[in-house]
Structure 1
Amino acid sequence: MTDEPLRVLVVDDQQLVREGLTALLELTGGVEVVGSAGDGARALELVAEHRPDVVLMDLKMPVLDGTAATARVRAEFPEVAVVVLTTYADDESIAGALAAGARGYLTKDAGRAEITMALRAAAGGQALFDPAVAARLAEAMNRPAAPPARDSLPDGLTQREAEVLGQIARGSTNAEIAAALFVAETTVKTHINNAFAKIGARNRTEAASYAQRQGLT
């Protein structure tokens, strides 16, 4: 077991929050805050400079938001883990962060012990989620599964577009589809627009009818 401290970068667009988190973590034994940033672009610069073990990442930030910054960190510095700490616990935010590669997701109601556990878990290759987030993930996993992949799909649909149409036929909202497929809601909207254009659907009712006829549900 190493005696090296856990090296953490704090990222939040509010200076008071950054300073508070830094002070909080520095009171925790075995944790070293190597820097802080107020937006995702600056966070990437500091990750390149300091190579922390974990980034504690806010989501809603200027210049480059936390979801995009998380994706960049995971792509460019795969050895660096990301734990999201945000006020948002909606399906779209959770799905977007996890799809980007976040290894933990906490709300700002979390205390020092919970934050520290999530950081250590992420550095060790594990995941820890806020109880409310874990409940949403469990709910998403219990939703009806997407149809199995088919060798060929009608009208030039991609497998993901077919999955989205199947979810629409089940009455799922865009947010529910995003959570079920672990993608951002904006990505779902893009798939819907592309699918509607390919099948000639003008609304969700026509799309649902098409999905049922084609056995996509």
Structure 2
Amino acid sequence: MDISHLRKEYTQAGLSKDSLSNDPLEQFSLWFKQAQEAQLPEPNAMSLATVDVDKMPGLRTVLLKYFDTRGFVFFTNYGSRKAKDIAVNPQAALLFPWITLERQVIVRGSVEKISKRESLHYFSGRPHGSQLGAWVSEQSSVITSRKLLAMKLDEIKRKFSDGKVPLPSFWGGYRVVPQSIEFWQGRPNRLHDRFLYSRSSDSAVDWQIDRLAP
């Protein structure tokens, strides 16, 4: 199928260095709020790229659950494919594809587990069904049918029939600690505005900002 005719000019906005915050997390927070205000579906959806022991890249969509000056946090099963990749290569990239706003944000950095206390705090606030689901799925493992999941869910419901679901030992959060963050704004004629924040030292507040060719 030839889809080379699909083409759109990006004309909504521009981006200049003078308009950027010196802190990429502040800039990200601003863009994230604008994505929410634009009522984009799942503005916290991000593509997570990892690399396995054989240097084969993996990519999937996960949900950002919170971010601060320390980095970007998501949650998963510690036996999942992404978790196994992180165990052998604790580096990752994130992509926020806010296409409706003609924007992208790309984060690259190291990955670390968050504390059990942090994971418990988040898990305790999840909907009851999502708490049960964390216990049911051996994420990324091969299963024979969906019926198996339903049977396991019934088993877990009985196990935690008192209503309180504990944090599974095999489930929790990871934080991507950014080493670089790129802000991409679409422009006409594919001459996009791209600005890259890079850590210029070990300081969490010391960033270098460079404009990149489109």
The answer to whether TM tops 0.5 is no
Q: Which has the higher strand share?
A: 2
What is the TM-score when the length of structure 2 is the normalising length?
A: 0.26
What is the TM-score when the length of structure 1 is the normalising length?
A: 0.26
